[in-house]
Structure 1
Amino acid sequence: MAIKTAVIGVGALGQHHARILSSLEGCQLVSVVDANMDRAKEIAEKYNTSALQNYREIKNVDAVVVAAPTIYHREISNYFLERGVSVLCEKPLASSVEECDSIVETSQKYNSNLLVGHIEHFNPAVECVFKETQTPGFLEIHRLGVFTGRSLDVDVVYDLMIHDIEISSTLVKSKIENIEAIGVAVLSNHIDIANARITYESGCVCNLTASRISKDKIRKLRLFEKNSYFSIDYSEQSVEAYRIIEENGNKTIKKLEFNVEKKEPLRAELEHFIKVVKGEEKPKVDGISARNAVKVAAEIVEKILR
């Protein structure tokens, strides 16, 4: 039996959720929802489904994607979680730690699946490095984008940097000891460019830079650990890595080769979501992980605005 799904919010990102769900095997896109009814109708016609203006009109679904503006994430997610519907909520999970806690508690209370759209977990280059790295000592991550005028309801920390906050926490696997941060608003009323230095109890240091006002789009992660170096280009889905190898008493630098099979991370994420709904897999990024990322983001913003 097909998993019945709906997408709430079919803007720049939500439209792609609708596109993929409409084509996934074992999945039926029963409706799309948007406050702009003309937009909802446009996407619904494109993917042969029904258009709604109010998410409360959705009936008989197994799973929903929440791709509405962040300020509505708690309201919409809790509505469906309370009804036993599985939810994939786009990042950030919510606008505050308190709202995140509300969503997580609701999912636990009603035993409903909650996944959060930290899409880089499904980037094949990232998946390769997850398998290879052991004890990171230093990370340098840049996520720079051109100004589009979108997602201005949140600052660049919640919009872009949060991807790398969550990825670095997954890689380091240690509690945070200290956070330093700077940032400025340039073209919007919120922080448009930010830098954060996170020190972990393990001794690892992570330097994060995020901008939505850059000339070029750059998505890169560099990781250094004992005897190893990894460089990821998120956009190109490529990995460059080197490791010191000892052979016959001599140390040499060996280039590591990775067979990175390029794919669309969003499609992989939605395929995973459907498998979670079916009970075939456990969430890769659950509500607690996403909540913790929001907590770090909130601390970074607080440091900047102080």
Structure 2
Amino acid sequence: MSAPRLRAGVIGLGAMGRNHARVLSGLDGVELVGCSDPAVTDTRVSHGAPIHPTVEALVEAGVDYAVVACPTGLHEEVGLYLAEHGVAALVEKPLADSEEGARRLVEAFESRGLVAGVGHIERYNPALQSLRERLSAGDLGEIYQVVTRRQGPFPARIADVGVVKDLATHDIDLTAWVTGRQYLSVSARTSRKSGREHEDMVAVVADLEHGTIANHLVNWLSPLKERATIVTGEKGCFVADTLTADLTFYANGATTSEWETMRNFRGVSEGDMTRYAIARREPLLVEHERFRDAVLGVADDIVTVREGMRTVEVSSAVLRAAEQGGTVSVAATLPA
């Protein structure tokens, strides 16, 4: 006799919510039993699952866990409701639109012992997963710098937050995750070139633990879509392209010089380049498999709400730094 399947729901059927519904509709061990969205009635976007007009109606129909894919400004309200009714939740990033809201969500789920995660999907990108494994194995030696570039056209679906909360949160989370190093301080500059309420461009310089420097360049103003993570260290540099899931290593060359003055200068030269063969699976599917397993209690490879709260804290510090025109310290909140 087969084990009963988990009953899952999706809250919010925008672009991301529809992708969640697609994956959940075919996920082993899970049944997509319903969705909720006050503005959507066409069950083709929910892959045949009933669409309820309210979150309350979805919860009353009976769900073991729900994906929160509504606008960021509603994450706290919806997440607190789910926690109060004993429903596990996978909340799309960012966890909340404020530090206070993120802390309230962490308290709500942790105090009830409920599984809760945040949809920082880049952690499940094959290139970044391979990069993290290689950094952990010491393939780069000492890590000097992390540079990320994330740019492209403005997504019309985003209205309630700017580029820092919507996009830079990806880079903040993945940088801390691949290096295993927390942010200590940030400085930033933002701009509003398109006339919208929120910032559409940001440049960040950050100090991480162990002397590592991070730089993030993010915008909604480029016709070029780019998703690059470059990690430079003692033995060379890794370049991860998360659009193509490619990972390349550029090694420092081993050269000597007979010129006495140049021997006293510690530098690097161009060495071998290696492009790794990586198995490519859809990151959203992997994310859902990991969350399903966490709900079942057989694994814990998810982005916890406490980690999601940390990312909200750092992104809020970025906005404060840009407003103040200085450097803002980011106090450590995660357990060692």
Q: Do both share a fold (TM > 0.5)?
A: yes
For residues 272 and 175 of structure 1, what CA distance do their matches in structure 2 show? Answer: 23
Deviation at 1:169, TM superposition (A): 1.1
Match of 2:227 in 1: 219
Deviation at 1:228, TM superposition (A): 2.5
Alignment partner of 1:267 out of 278, 285, 295 = 285
Does 1:282 find its partner at 2:300?
yes
- 1:87-106 alignment runs, 5 A limit: 87-106=89-108
- 1:11-50 alignment runs, 5 A limit: 11-36=14-39, 39=40, 41-43=41-43, 47-50=47-50
Does 1:176 find its partner at 2:178?
no
Does 1:234 find its partner at 2:242?
yes
TM-score by length of 2: 0.85
Match of 1:123 in 2: 125
Q: How many residues align?
A: 300
Deviations 1:40-82 (A, max 9, x none): x214565111111100012221110000011111111111122
Q: 1:21 to 1:147 in 2, by over 3 A?
A: same
Deviations 1:14-56 (A, max 9, x none): 00100110111211111111120xx2x2145651111111000
For residues 144 and 45 of structure 1, what CA distance do their matches in structure 2 show? Answer: 28
Corresponding residue SS for 1:56? helix
Q: Are the equivalent residues in 2 in contact too, given 1:44–1:51 (CA < 8 A)?
A: no
Corresponding residue SS for 1:202? helix
Deviation at 1:178, TM superposition (A): 2.5
For residues 105 and 243 of structure 1, what CA distance do their matches in structure 2 show? Answer: 45
Q: Are the equivalent residues in 2 in contact too, given 1:198–1:206 (CA < 8 A)?
A: yes
For residues 252 and 169 of structure 1, what CA distance do their matches in structure 2 show? Answer: 28
Deviation at 1:174, TM superposition (A): 3.0
Match of 2:266 in 1: none
Does 1:146 find its partner at 2:153?
yes
- 1:202-213 alignment runs, 5 A limit: 202-213=210-221
Deviation at 1:284, TM superposition (A): 2.4
Segment drifting more, 254-263 vs 280-289: 254-263
The one-letter code matched in structure 2 to 1:273 is F
Corresponding residue SS for 1:42? coil
Is there any run of 5+ residues in structure 1 with no aligned partner, and where? none
